[in-house]
Amino acid sequence: MVFLDLDLHQRPFSQIGSLFFKEDVSPELQSRQLYLRERDNKEPAEKYKIGPVVEKQYWYNGSADGDRPAMVSFIQATCGLVLQKAESHAASAASSSPSPSSLLSGSRPFDLPELRRLLQQCISMTPHIIPLERGLTAPYLIDPDLSRSNVIVKPSGAANVVQYIDWQGAFSLPYLLSTRLPQAVLYEGKRIASPHDPFTFPDFGLSCRTEGVRGPQAETR
């Protein structure tokens, strides 16, 4: 899985968005190259294109695409989408016939001024806090559904990975926004007990505790 991650980060994509077959996106998006670097745009790159982001958090009465090749405008468009959704839910919750989703939302009319102020600050600050290093802002492919059930290994012997499946949710995001562990490596067992005092020296026994400790004579030699 480490090698998969390294391989995915060898080729930056030309824009932010979800991975589509070429025939499933608009003619305008079909004309854009898949990868950022021209040398990477070879077969089978022509089979795929980057289209709108299909992740639900980036949609509300439209997508938060912005200028998808640029991380700054994408974040600004996302902030605008969050504000639009909050204002809509707050207005619905205050109406005589609120929608079920607005009643479950945390946004209330009295929260909007503060929320609007914070999001506007985020929009105005974004160009100044995004790093200039292209390697941190360029879009790279990630798979949000990389769970153990989607990792095929050999039926016997060492658990060497044969193939990764279920890529329909894959999309490209700036490196800074895609730093999360895949489900396949998340620990889901019981809580690991921690020592009561993490600064207490472990009791390894007398022989281990004195081994390798130099006395005063060793210090003066």
What is residue 107's predicted lDDT score, i.e. its pLDDT?
60
Tokens describing residue 161: 């990975």
Enumerate the H helices of the chain as residue ranges: 2-8, 27-30, 71-93, 100-104, 112-129, 134-137, 206-210, 216-220
What is residue 100's predicted lDDT score, i.e. its pLDDT?
60
Domain assignment present for 209: no
Domain assignment present for 174: yes
CB neighbours of 85 closer than 8 A, spacing ≥ 6?
60, 107
**What's the number of domains the chain is made of?**
1
Domain assignment present for 190: no
Domain assignment present for 191: no
Structural domain for 94, as ranges: 2-185
Domain assignment present for 205: no
Strands 151-153 and 17-21: unpaired
Q: Give the residue ranges of the chain where pLDDT is below 50.
A: 66-67, 206, 208-221
What is residue 218's predicted lDDT score, i.e. its pLDDT?
41
Q: What is the pTM of this model?
A: 0.68
